[in-house]
Amino acid sequence: MKYLIIIIIILIPFLGISKTLENLEYIPLFNNDVAAIKKGNEWRFIDQDGKIIVDFRKHLVSNQTEKASYPIFSNERDLIAHQKDGALNYVYIDKTGKAVIKPQFLNAVNFEYGKALLLKVEKETIGSNDIFNKDVVSYHYFEVVIDKVGKTLDHLTQLAIHVSPKYKNPPAISSRFISRNLVALKGSDNKCSVKKID
């Protein structure tokens, strides 16, 4: 009996009983030990054994490469665009699909060197409307650097930039990492500067 079980286990792949991922539209190369696979307009992540680690989702953010656009994990994090109050907010998930940094960003990019650049939205109460018994609020954002748990390491823009709470297209992130601890900042005059991030 023991030998019969061993023979069946060995033959399972040859009998076609193993689980096969079929009808996929795109399979990119592995990045950070996982690959995104596409079916319809949804993506899922598999590990190097073909095991599904993050099931199909519509809101994974794609990254443009030389050949295609697809979601990637970078520094154990992936971006999801999360709908909140009629506007997109970005959230980072880990390889279990769990949100590890709450949605609070107007725009965001993948992690590099254990850090990410993003536009962090802040809500400021600037007064109150006594007739409607409501606060008058202003939304603004800063370009910031965060670590892998969401802690703000540095503000890259010093002045708050006003944004509508119902924005259609998020502003672009103008900074970029040029090394592990250096960020290139683009000024309003289109001239650049370099800032060290500890």
Q: What is the pLDDT of residues 157-198, one digit of tens each?
A: 877 777 776 666 778 899 999 999 999 998 878 889 999 998
Tell me the pTM.
Answer: 0.74
CA atoms within 13 A on the CB side of 62: 15
- Segment 136-144 shows an average pLDDT of 86
Query: Looking up tokens 């959230």, which residue turns up?
Result: 91
How buried is residue 189: exposed, middle or buried, by Cβ count under 10 Å (0-12/13-18/19+)? exposed
Please answer whether residues 37 and 26 qualify as being in contact, where contact means their C-beta atoms are separated by less than 8 angstroms. Answer: yes
Bridge partners, 83 (sequence order): 88
Please answer whether residues 62 and 142 qualify as being in contact, where contact means their C-beta atoms are separated by less than 8 angstroms. Answer: no
- Segment 51-76 shows an average pLDDT of 82
Domain residue spans of the chain? 104-198
Torsion sign over Cα 134, 83, 171, 77 = positive
Question: pLDDT of 93-128, one tens digit each?
Answer: 999 889 898 888 889 999 999 999 999 888 888 888
